[in-house]
Chain A
Amino acid sequence: MSRFLKLLFRNRLAGLGAVVLGAIVLLVLITPLLPLQPPNVTDTANRFLPPFSEGHLLGTDHLGRDLLSRLLYGTRLSLAVGVAAAVIAATLGSAIGIVAGFYGGRVDNVIMRGVDMLMAFPYILLALAIVAALGPGLLNALIAVAAVNVPFFARNIRGVTVGLAHREFVDAARLAGMSNARIILVEVLPNVLPVIVIAMSTTVGWMILETAGLSFLGLGSQPPVADLGSMLGEARSALITNPHTSIVPGVMIFLIVMSVNLLGDGVRDALDPRLRSGALARPKAVTDVRREGAVPQTPQKGLLDLQELQTQFHAGGRVFRAVGGVSLHVKPGECLGIIGESGSGKSVTALSVMGLVASPPGVITGGAVRYDGTDLLSEPYEGLRRRRGRNVAYIFQDPQATLHPLYRVGDQLSEAILSHHAVSRAEAEKRCLELMRAVRIPNPGSRMRAYPHELSGGMRQRIGIAMAMANDPDVIIADEPTTALDVTVQAQILALLDDLRRERGLAIVFITHDFGVVAQLCDRVAVMYAGRIVEEGRTDDVLALPRHPYTSRLIDCVPELGGGKRRLEAIPGLPPMVDDLPPGCAFAPRCHKARAECTAGEVDLGVTGDRAVRCLYPEDAPKREVAE
């Protein structure tokens, strides 16, 4: 709650709305206690007194009634009717929406077609028809305004409920013996409540206006009782001669609706989880680089060389050291594997290379990324943009998410080519066909005109690889490209990547959590834990003789096909959070070999030949046969 208020008041306009609305509500609540003149007593002798007259702060109207008194009582009535209409519309509309969305099928069809029919009438016509049928009066105006707004809530809430009704926790509740009615009340309703509040906060201002509109037409509050709409209606004839009688209620309506809307938008932004997680902040086109230390000047190894790279996320006053000093290099034609669990920093390392980490909150705080002699971190945006895709290209995990759903895959592929080469469309299309053949897509001609959803997962990932290949990059960074795929498809994709690098001398950085994949594809492997490399070496050596206890135990965790039914070796505990790393070795709290020295100070990466290990007490006994 306090978090919500903090978020709300960070938005200045919403804060202003809250203050103005709060003042108005307070004023109308204490109106009966104020020393005001009675609002409905006529005094024709003193009609149309200007504001600031004696005894009448805001003047009087055409019957000599005190405007201040009428204004406050009228606001009280308008607010009450508007809010009541909003509550009624929200309750009814949400109930209809939840039932339709939860049951789906025929129930949904019947209800929603009814709602559609209601929506097909212009709202004011519908409200007029309802008032005409029920007769004028404030209560009937309230009913009309509420009825007119029910469809809005019903539609909104139905959409949210449809998404919730198929969630797994609803199935779990069914299996726990809950009835449908109880599931709606206990499981679904609490999850749609924020949406109802958001919808209400953004519509209550509108409903106050609608009520005022009906009263203005004489269908709402009946004389002599004042509300804002009827005050305006009565003042209409004197608009030119005595404008203050119109301006006074007009300004009040303006203030109420304005403050309600500002506050409502603020409430929506503060409650909406998508907006709260920073979707309103637009990430920059390139990651911020604020290097604290000197740029490392070590001579470059390989084609792409990461030197002491550090990437952090600064969010909510906390610093997440996602990448804490990583050095890696890859040579042409070589495949380097990066293996690690979620949160180990392997993806952030990869994205830092081309400045693709979202900023804010990401910042590169140290190190260098050298590509063929130049430090990419010092490169201006335009230079980096030209290198993206042409020097270093990426393949991501989920091609469904990286391909645009509304464009044909051929067009997306051509776009990748056209953004780097000034060639004709026909030329680009020819190149597309070549690429699709290179990644072994059957019938490339017809597949070019397919949309992403028309392709299978394996075909989509082939398009992703073709796109990465479009500009003949020298380095491909593949971030778990086969994790979302079936095993038979995975085998095909891995074989394809292997062929490509052998045929074209590509350097591949392959990020994964699967030792089997690393063993089959990668020449060298680096193991990451809590943002740092803990072990590095030739794949065969590391897998046969892991030296870091983490690598060794991680390998034991993974069942291998052909081992029969057995108990697995688990690593106790959880990986540490990178905003609160323990001193010394990050693995020490989970390590069976840990001693006091392990947590005393930094543990360096000890390099011997092509092996490196960050451990004070590395494993040295030959590990049991892999195929045991």
Chain B
Amino acid sequence: MIALRATDLSKTFTPPKPLFGAAPPGVRAVRPMTLEVAQGETLGIVGESGCGKSTLARMLVGLLPPSTGEIEIAGEKLGVAGPAVFGKRIQYVFQDPISSLNPRKTIRDILETPLKRLYGMGREERRKRIAEILASVNLRESFLDRYPHEFSGGQAQRIGIARALAASPRIIVLDEPVSALDVSVQAQVLNLLADLKTEFGLTYLFISHDLAVVEAVSDRVVVLYFGAVVEIGPAERIFSAPKHPYTRLLADSAPVVGRTLTAPEQKGTELPDPLNPPPGCAFAGRCPRATDLCRSEDPALTDHGDHQLAACHHPLED
């Protein structure tokens, strides 16, 4: 069963039109992309800064209206319904646990809001529900009357997760949920997320720049580059047998114990200019396999077997 389907979703940020002259071209943060996430699946989304992963996530939860395309959750087209309609179906866990909690509200206020606003629960019902949620994220009820600054990063992130759970969504978008945490705490939160997923039958979209973390938690992984999907595949294969040269570059760049230090890319290359995108494949400028075809024609996402799709004219062989 499909939990979430995004069809031709794209976002172009248009700068304000100047008083004189023509409107400047917009920045295409996310180029039209189609994604499907199955019920109960964890879809990892990786990419470097500026690849459009946060823009995509904000569109999926309804915080940002898409320029084109449609979002369908559990077979229901949501259109531009606004965050409150999305909120009951899909929730968001933010990267920075402390700044995602209002410093002037108690934890109880924070957790009660979705229960009151989305479900109109009464006082007694809310108390019971909050007790349940706190128990499932391993937090004590005595924390309820405290303020966010009294918590460590790991605890604050649990509160962020509890708030997302309070809305009883089917899908949770996790936007770099552990990258602000220490490694010993990071594992605690990742394991908690795995437990919650089985307990509540959730579907996750897990965004991160840390390939090892994404691989450890995901069923399938999407690799984004310059606002477009360059490769989708099963987590256990995508980094060990990548089809797209960019995926391989990412995998080779990740520091791994026991691998000697080499810079996989010696040229000081940078991302293409979003205001002036190159024709053809956006990665061609950095790609050792690029040909004239790559520099003129944008490759489409094609199936390379084993559920692995890559957008490349010259995919890597196994």
- State whether A342 and B258 are in contact (beta carbons under 8 Å apart), knowing that A492-B263, A563-B212, A565-B236 are contacts in the complex: no
Q: Write out, one digit per residue, whether chain A residues 534-577 have a CB within 8 A of any chain B CB (1) or not (0).
A: 00000000010000000001100111111111111111101100
| Docked pose: A440 CA to B267 CA in angstroms | 8
Give the residue name and chain of the B residue nearest to A555 (CB): B257
Kindly state whether residue B55 has any CB partner on chain A within 8 Å: no
Q: Which of A177, A182, A191, A553 is within 8 Å of B104, CB to CB?
A: A191
Size of the chain B interface, CB-CB below 8 angstroms: 78
**Is A574's CB under 8 angstroms from B183's CB?**
no
Q: Is there a chain A Cβ closer than 8 Å to B83's Cβ?
A: yes
A513 with B183, Cβ < 8 A, contacts A168-B96, A191-B102 known:
yes
Tell me the complex Cα distance, A517–B261, Å.
9
Pair B255/A520 contact, Cβ less than 8 Å: yes
List chain B residues, Cβ under 8 A from A572.
188
CB distance from B65 to the nearest CB of A (A): 13
A561 with B253: CB separation less than 8 A: no
Asked if A570 and B184 make an inter-chain contact with CB atoms under 8 angstroms apart, the answer reads yes
The listed residue (B96, B101, B184, B211) touching A571 by CB distance below 8 A is: B184
| Contact-size category for A | 35 or more
Which chain A residues border B36 with CB–CB below 8 Å? none
Q: A561 is contacted by which of B187, B212, B260 (Cβ under 8 Å)? A: B212
Contacts of B118 in A (CB 8 A): 176-177
Q: Which residue on chain B has the smallest CB distance to residue A341?
A: B182
Give the chain A neighbours of B104 by CB distance below 8 A.
Answer: 190-191
Most chain B beta-carbon neighbours within 10 Å: one of A173, A176, A562, A563: A176
Tell yes or no: A456 within 8 A of B by CB.
yes
Min C-beta distance of A247 to chain B, whole Å: 47
Chain B 71-115 interface mask (CB, 8 Å, partner A; 1/0):
000000000000110111001101110011111110000000110
B2 within 8 A of A: no
Contact B258 A626 (CB under 8 A): yes
Bound complex: CA A231 to CA B257 (Å)? 83
- B257 CB to closest chain A CB (Å) equals 4
Contact with A along B198-226 (1 / 0, CB 8 A): 00000000000101110111110000000
A327 interface residue, CB < 8 Å from B? no
Are B261 and A521 in contact, CB atoms less than 8 angstroms apart? yes
Whether the pair B102, A187 counts as a contact (CB closer than 8 A) is yes
Q: How far is the CA of A627 from the CA of B253 in the complex (A)?
A: 17
* Residues of chain B in range 42-94 having any CB-CB distance to chain A below 8 Å: 48-49, 58, 61-63, 83-84, 86-88, 91-92, 94
Contact partners of A520 in chain B: CB under 8 A: 255-256, 259-261
- Near A by CB (< 8 A), chain B positions 117-169 give 117-118, 152, 154, 160, 163, 166-167
B3 / chain A contacts, CB cutoff of 8 Å: none
Chain A residue at smallest Cβ distance from B251: A561
Residues of A near B211 (CB, < 8 A) are 487, 561
Residues of A within 8 A of B103 (CB): 191
Which of B86, B99, B240 is within 8 Å of A167, CB to CB? B99
A458, A514, A519, A571: the one contacting B270 at CB < 8 Å is A458
Contact of B255 (CB < 8 Å), options: A458, A517, A557: A517
Contact B257 A563 (CB under 8 A): no
**A178 on interface, CB distance cutoff 8 Å:** yes
Within 8 A of B (CB), among A514-531: 514-517, 519-521
Residue of A nearest to B192 (CB): A570
Residue contact B102 to A567, C-beta cutoff 8 Å: no
**Residues on the B chain within 8 Å of A299, using CB:** none
- Find the B residue at minimum CB distance from A625: B258
Candidates B87, B215, B255, B266; contact of A175 at CB < 8 Å: B87
In whole Å, how far is B256's beta carbon from the nearest beta carbon of chain A?
5
In the complex, the answer to whether A486 meets B49 with C-beta atoms within 8 Å is yes
Residue of B nearest to A482 (CB): B255
Please tell me if the beta carbons of B191 and A168 are within 8 angstroms of each other in the complex: no
**In whole Å, how far is A250's beta carbon from the nearest beta carbon of chain B?**
43
Name the CB-closest residue of A to B250.
Answer: A487
Q: Give the docked Cα–Cα distance between A566 and B182 (Å).
A: 19
> How far is it, in angstroms, between the C-alpha of A515 and the C-alpha of B256 when the chains are bound?
8
Fill in one digit per residue for B217-247: 1 if any A CB lies within 8 Å of its CB, else 0.
1110000000000000001100110000000
Q: Are A560 and B257 in contact (CB under 8 A)?
A: yes
Whether B167 lies near A176 (C-beta < 8 A) is: yes
Determine how close the nearest CB of chain B comes to the CB of A590; give it in whole angstroms.
Answer: 8
A 165-176 binary contact with B (CB < 8 Å = 1; else 0)? 001110111111
CB pair A574–B185 under 8 Å, yes or no, is yes
Interface positions of B (Cβ within 8 A of A) = 48-49, 58, 61-63, 83-84, 86-88, 91-92, 94-96, 99-105, 113-114, 117-118, 152, 154, 160, 163, 166-167, 182-188, 190-191, 194, 209, 211-213, 215-219, 235-236, 239-240, 249-268, 270-271
A and B contact pairs by CB, cutoff 8 A, 27 listed: A169-B101, A169-B102, A171-B92, A171-B94, A172-B92, A174-B63, A176-B163, A177-B118, A190-B104, A190-B105, A191-B102, A191-B104, A456-B271, A457-B49, A488-B249, A491-B263, A520-B256, A520-B260, A560-B256, A560-B257, A561-B211, A565-B217, A566-B216, A569-B187, A570-B188, A570-B190, A627-B258
Chain A interface (Cβ < 8 Å from any Cβ of B): 167-169, 171-179, 182, 186-187, 190-191, 341-342, 440-442, 456-459, 462, 486-492, 494-496, 498, 513-517, 519-521, 543, 553-554, 557-572, 574-575, 626-627
Q: A174-B84, A553-B184, A569-B187 are in contact. List 20 more A-B contacts (CB 8 A).
A: A175-B62, A176-B166, A177-B88, A177-B113, A182-B117, A487-B211, A492-B265, A494-B263, A516-B257, A519-B256, A519-B258, A520-B256, A520-B259, A557-B187, A561-B212, A561-B251, A566-B216, A568-B190, A572-B188, A574-B152
